[in-house]
Structure formats: structure tokens, C-alpha cells
Structure 1
Amino acid sequence: MTKNSMCLDHVVLWVSDPVAAARFYTEAVGLDPVRVAEFVAEEVPFPSVRVNEETILDLAPRTFAEHMRMLPGAADSAGHPVNHVCLSLPTNAFDALRARLEQHGVPLSEIGHDSYGARGNAPRTFYFRDPDGNVFEARHYDE
């Protein structure tokens, strides 16, 4: 491991219905909702879900793209997919996530083995899509 102090703060996902997306990530994936009530009350531009104490997923409505003016062409990113986002979990949480996704009828890939990532080879991994087509990988490392 490196001693890099940089952390991943957030990933912005383009979604068609932020409330439905938040419900998916809360119920099927098991993440904690952030600012969903405030979004519904039109007090904030988008809700989020918490991955851990340092990282959230922002659930930005595609209609928000026109407000993305931080760089030339940034608004054009709506609909441009990222290949996938990987969630690393403890072994028991990995198994619980897979079971919860199955209960919600979410199609899952087969279990893969020895996939390389930030912490080396992960013994098991699988992929799933959210309702907007964003692809996620779930993995665990030996503990």
C-alpha cells in the first residue's frame, strides 16, 4: 500500500429518476441515502447515497447536465457511460449484497476470481447494473 492521502470523494452518476435511483441504492445495494428528502423538497439539485464515511455517489438527473459548466463540454457528459465503478466490501457484506440484489431481481454476472484491483487480487467479484444502466463491480479481498 502507498501512503497516499488522496481519497475518492464522490462519483456523479447520470440517472433518469434520482428518487428511484436512491431507492435502488438504498434497498438493493444497502447504501445510506443522503439529501433525498431535500431533493424531493426541491432544496438541493440532486440526492446522493453514502458508500462509506469518505465517499458518496451523487445521483444527478440528466436534465441537470445543462448546469455543468465547470469546463467546456462538461454538459455533454450526460449519457457518456463510465465502464464501471467498483465497490470493495468485507466478505460477509459481499455475500449479503449479492443475496440482496438477487432478492430485488437484479441480473448479476457469474462470480469471477482473482481480479486485480487497488489492493491486489480479489478472490471473488461480480457485476450488476443499476436501473439506469450504470455498471458496478462488487469484490472482496482476503481479510
Structure 2
Amino acid sequence: MSVSSVSQRAGAASQARSHSLSRPFPLPVRIVYHCRMTLRPFHLAFPVHDLAAARAFYGDVLGCREGRSSDHWIDFDLGGHQIVAHLDPNARPGGTSNPVDGHDVPVPHFGVVLTMADWEALSARVEQAGISFGIAPHVRFKGQPGEQATMFFRDPSGNALEFKAFADDAQLFATELAPQETAQ
């Protein structure tokens, strides 16, 4: 079987499932970039020290649908992307941080770009669950290209997550600041 036929079958199966499943996050908008490539879901595996705590956090708090699992790992659907929590009883992610816009941003971290309505709903859900924010929900780059709402928090194993929403999704990869007004 060729790679393209496997890819076509997988895409058709995925598309069929997406219409029948209820998702906490809507399927990501397929963004077509200048090179005409369609954005595909990513896969990320990360360590957790307790699968039950991971299941409660990713399933109950974040609302991720659970996929396959074993005694050593759990697949989750995070906004249409496959993330996998792998059991490592000694896992204690921590990493470091980098200064960004007056905050110490945890490195490494992962997350999803949401719509503003979904971002606001998630922010409220995280707060209601009693999870403390590493960086509280706020808007960065207000009035500039790339304006975005962002928040950071950690899962029970210490993995850092960032969820953000853009005022204009077309500014996801903004590279320049807005021109400053000059005095005449």
C-alpha cells in the first residue's frame, strides 16, 4: 500500500469521525499558508507522574476526548491534535523560563490557539477548577499586530501549557510592531 493511499484513507476516516464526535474545542480551522500546504494535526508525547491525575486534568478540566490508552499512556484529543501522556513515576518537568513581555514564560510549554470565545470559556473553567495560573489571563501586544490573549498554567505533573487567542488569526505569525505615531 502506498504512503499516499494510507494518508488518503486516514484523512477520510478522520473526517468521518470528526462529524460524529462532540469536541470541547472546535476542529482547528485549516489554514492554508503561502506555500499552499494544509495544516495537519501534530502529535506530542510528554511525561506524567500519575495517569489518573492526567486523565482528570486533560479530560475533566480541559475537556479533551480520550483516545486509546494502556496502563502506561493515554491519548487525548487537544483541539484536533494528538497528545499522549506517558507514565514516568519520576517525571518532574520544570524546565526554565525566558523573559517575554514582562513575564517569565516557562520553557518548554505547549498548547493550542483558540477562538476568543473558547479561550474565555477555558480561562473560566481553569479558574473554577482551582488551578493556579503561572501567568494569569491577559492581552499582550494590545493594538499591535499579533495582539493576543494568553494564559499559562501547569498540569499535575508540572508540564507547562499556554492557551492563546488572537484578535486577528491572520496575525498569528506577525513579525513587526505597529508603526508608532510620530509627532509632527
TM-score strictly above 0.5: yes
Residue 90 (structure 1) aligns with: 115
User: Contact 2:62–2:122 (CA<8 Å) still a contact in 1?
Assistant: yes
Identity, in percent, stands at: 22
Aligned pair count reads: 120
Instruction: Specify which structure has the bigger relative contact order, considering alpha-carbon pairs within 8 angstroms and separated by 6 or more residues.
Output: 1
Offset at residue 4 of structure 1 (A): 3.3
Q: 1:8-29 deviations in whole A, cap 9, x for unaligned? A: 5211110011232021011111
User: Contact 1:51–1:57 (CA<8 Å) still a contact in 2?
Assistant: yes
Query: Which one has the largest radius of gyration?
Result: 2
Q: 1:55-95 deviations in whole A, cap 9, x for unaligned? A: 111000016x9xxxxxxxxxxx9858551113111111101
Specify the SS of the correspondent of 2:118.
helix
**For the structure 1 residues 122 and 139, does the alpha-carbon distance in structure 2 shift closer, same or farther, using more than 3 Å as the test?**
farther
Residue 104 (structure 1) aligns with: 129
**For the structure 1 residues 92 and 34, does the alpha-carbon distance in structure 2 shift closer, same or farther, using more than 3 Å as the test?**
same
Q: Which amino acid aligns with 2:68?
A: R
Runs of 4 or more, structure 1, over 6 Å off, are: none
User: Contact 1:12–1:60 (CA<8 Å) still a contact in 2?
Assistant: yes
Q: Does 1:26 align with 2:59?
A: yes
Q: 1:22-64 deviations in whole A, cap 9, x for unaligned? A: 210111112111124xx2xx4xx411110133x111000016x
User: Contact 1:122–1:139 (CA<8 Å) still a contact in 2?
Assistant: no
Give unmatched runs, 5+ long, in structure 2: 1-32, 96-106, 169-184
Q: Which amino acid aligns with 1:93?
A: D
Give unmatched runs, 5+ long, in structure 1: 66-76
User: Contact 2:151–2:164 (CA<8 Å) still a contact in 1?
Assistant: yes
RMSD: 2.7
Residue 78 (structure 2) aligns with: 51
User: Contact 2:93–2:157 (CA<8 Å) still a contact in 1?
Assistant: no
TM-score norm. by structure 1 comes to 0.70
